Amino acid sequence: MQSSPICFIPFEADVSDISLPHRFTFPFYYHPHELCVIAANELQQRISNQKWDHNFGLDQGQSGMVIGKMFGVLVVKNKDGQLGYLAGFSGKIADENHHEGFVPPVYDILKKDGFFREEEQRINALNAEIERLEGDPNLQDLRSKLATFQDEIASSLAQFRQDIKQGKRERKQQRGAAKTRLSQEEWERLDVQLAKESVHHQLAYKRLARFYREQWDESQKALDSMLQKIDALKDERRTRSGLLQKRLFDEYRFLNANGEWRSLLSIFHYTDQSTPPAGAGECAAPKLLQYAFLHQLEPIAMAEFWWGASPKSDVRKHGQFYPACRGKCEPILGHMLKGLEVDPNPMLDNPAEGKELEILFEDEFMMAVNKPAEFLSVPGKIIKDSVYSRIRVRNPEATGPLIVHRLDMSTSGILLVAKSKEVHKQLQHQFENRTIKKRYVALLDGTLTVNSGEIDLPLRVDLDDRPRQLVCYEHGKPSKTYWELIETKNGQSKVYFYPLTGRTHQLRVHAAHQLGLNTPIVGDDLYGTIKDRLHLHAERIEFLHPQTKEKMVIRCLKF
């Protein structure tokens, strides 16, 4: 029997009775295949027994920065038809790219005699020299001297000008007083003397101003000389870093099932960002597929899971499966999966097909509808079927944007629709002033021990993995939610959510994040675990009718 590649891991469990999938995994939205679940369980057992010098945040007594990691398993078949799997991880573990039993990186930037390490040392030397020069006491002294010297010069020259003016006034007085008591000849001699004093003072002022200017120029020249050295080093650093980045991008070359190679630069060239983001190519999925293609292993199915404590900004649950990230991996995997028969992208299917909009309230001015789960509020880039398009067909005479506010595609519940621009403006004004009161009901995947509270977490989009949201105290927008526990049953908690702001995925992140309830909503495919649906429903809304000004309360308890 022909030997398998060194990273090929035969299953410990008997998997002979498990049917293989008909197509390879669509990596951005999937239910892990049974073989992947078994492989992941076996790998997690191995990881638990590893003695890496890496703090995943699972052992409270371990020192060092907490860094959780995404791991991946790729179920493969070798040339002999034997079923097994490959294991990989994203980035580095314990500051190393290579660990026994795991696939290697696509390109090893940590190779000791590689160009990256050599150039990195040069750049580090530049950084050290820049830091030394910027911290030079002489530089700080010059900056301080110039800052205070400027004020001293201005003050001294201003005082000198005041003295000149005072002397001018005094000489004028002398001339006036001498006019009556001196002869014409004596007065003319006095006038000449006083004129000479005036010239003398003017010349003295010019000499002082020139002296100060020379002193200033000398100090500024010395400062400029030091700053020019720093700027030259920064320019060199910028140039070297750019060239290093470009060379790295050229070294990262990816193989696909058709035997075609493409560099990272060429893969990202026609994307919106055009330049690969930092860390592109270091994720588990590209590493796994690259190794399989290089060693003639047939990919069967793939899954990735998180191991360790969740990052402070993101929502990652220990041991839970997650799809590949879109910002870094989608262009790369788009190339690497060519030649494989892959599961269809479910996000290209119309989720609203066969579903109807229930009208909860309607008059000549507005409507309230019950939006089903997996139903767009407004048309998307690919799927146009939505509440907006359905209402537009149903009410062709309506004007304006129609949709007053939105619900996530996966969220069900009450959505307000305006039939005219004026009504739309009036309702939006209520939303902007936060006078509209909304209540959501949600089923959480866990048991809460507190009855109520308020969550306040600033949110922004994850630029590398849209549409996921991150908690970010630097760039995030404020988002607040009040919540109440209704009941706990069978390991789940039913809650009311009262959003005080309306950020994207606000309730989903507030439920799942460790600084929120740390308990994801059942069926949350982004921040929890995929189920039949997202169990989040907008069940009550209270507002003033835009025309009658009557208080309106609309309920939709079907969940």
Residue range 179-200, pLDDT digits in tens: 778 888 888 888 888 888 888 8
Give the integer Cα–Cα distance in Å for 299 and 188.
111
pLDDT in tens, 89-124: 999 999 899 999 999 999 988 877 788 888 889 999
**What pTM was computed for the model?**
0.80
Whether 2 maps to a domain, the answer reads no
Give the integer Cα–Cα distance in Å for 167 and 84.
101
pLDDT in tens, 482-492: 999 999 999 99
- Class of residue 423 by CB neighbours under 10 A (exposed 0-12, middle 13-18, buried 19+): buried
Q: What is the pLDDT of residue 218?
A: 87
Once rounded to an integer, what is the mean pLDDT over residues 155-173? Answer: 87
Express as a percent the part of the chain with pLDDT over 90: 72
Q: CA of 191: how far to CAs of 29, 179, 183, in Å?
A: 99, 10, 12
Nearest to 531 by CA among 425, 410, 351: 410
| pLDDT above 80: residue 312 | yes
State whether 381 and 317 are in the same domain: no
Q: CA of 395: how far to CAs of 179, 244, 388, in Å?
A: 100, 59, 10
Is the separation of the CB atoms in 11 and 87 below 8 Å?
no
| pLDDT above 60: residue 526 | yes
Q: What is the pLDDT of residue 4?
A: 66
State whether 538 and 412 are in the same domain: yes
Residues 6+ away with beta carbon under 8 Å from 310: 68, 316, 317, 318, 513, 514
State whether 531 and 472 are in the same domain: yes
Among 248, 283, 305, identify where a domain stops.
248
Q: What is the pLDDT of residue 2?
A: 44
Residues in the chain: 559
Once rounded to an integer, what is the mean pLDDT over residues 426-452? Answer: 96
State whether 510 and 470 are in the same domain: yes
Whether 122 maps to a domain, the answer reads no
Express as a percent the part of the chain with pLDDT over 70: 99
State whether 244 and 262 are in the same domain: no
Give the integer Cα–Cα distance in Å for 73 and 33.
11
State whether 389 and 446 are in the same domain: yes
pLDDT in tens, 360-376: 999 999 999 999 999 99
Lowest model confidence (mean pLDDT) among 116-120, 292-296, 390-394, 427-431: 116-120
Whether 1 maps to a domain, the answer reads no
State whether 377 and 328 are in the same domain: no
State whether 415 and 538 are in the same domain: yes
The DSSP annotation for 124-148 comes to: HHHHHHHHHHHT-HHHHHHHHHHHH
Higher pLDDT among residues 35 and 244, named by residue: 35
Our count of domains for the chain comes to: 3
Is the separation of the CB atoms in 459 and 471 below 8 Å?
yes
Q: What is the pLDDT of residue 493?
A: 98
Whether 164 maps to a domain, the answer reads yes
State whether 310 and 200 are in the same domain: no
Once rounded to an integer, what is the mean pLDDT over residues 239-246? Answer: 89
Catalytic positions are 408
Give the integer Cα–Cα distance in Å for 197 and 168.
9
Dihedral of alpha carbons 47, 53, 55, 61, sign: positive
| CATH number of the domain within which 506 lies | 3.30.2350.10
Q: What is the pLDDT of residue 3?
A: 55
Once rounded to an integer, what is the mean pLDDT over residues 396-422? Answer: 95
Among 297, 331, 347, identify where a domain stops.
347
Whether 29 maps to a domain, the answer reads yes
Q: What is the pLDDT of residue 446?
A: 96
Q: What is the pLDDT of residue 1?
A: 37
Whether 201 maps to a domain, the answer reads yes
Whether 114 maps to a domain, the answer reads no
State whether 232 and 184 are in the same domain: yes
Q: What is the average pLDDT value for the chain, to the nearest integer?
A: 92
Residue labelled with tokens 């590893």: 50
Among 197, 219, 248, identify where a domain stops.
248
| pLDDT above 50: residue 479 | yes
pLDDT in tens, 28-66: 999 999 999 999 999 999 999 998 999 999 988 888 899
Give the integer Cα–Cα distance in Å for 230 and 236.
10
State whether 341 and 371 are in the same domain: no
Is the separation of the CB atoms in 527 and 424 below 8 Å?
no
Is the separation of the CB atoms in 409 and 505 below 8 Å?
no
Q: What is the pLDDT of residue 211?
A: 87
Write out the residue range of the structural domain in which residue 448 sits: 349-555
Q: CA of 539: how far to CAs of 388, 498, 517, in Å?
A: 20, 11, 21
Is the separation of the CB atoms in 256 and 336 below 8 Å?
yes
Whether 341 maps to a domain, the answer reads yes
CA terminus-to-terminus distance, the chain: 58
| pLDDT above 50: residue 139 | yes
State whether 459 and 544 are in the same domain: yes
Once rounded to an integer, what is the mean pLDDT over residues 388-403? Answer: 94
CA triple 61-63-64, angle to 5 deg: 150
Once rounded to an integer, what is the mean pLDDT over residues 276-294? Answer: 95
Give the chain's largest Cα–Cα span. Answer: 133
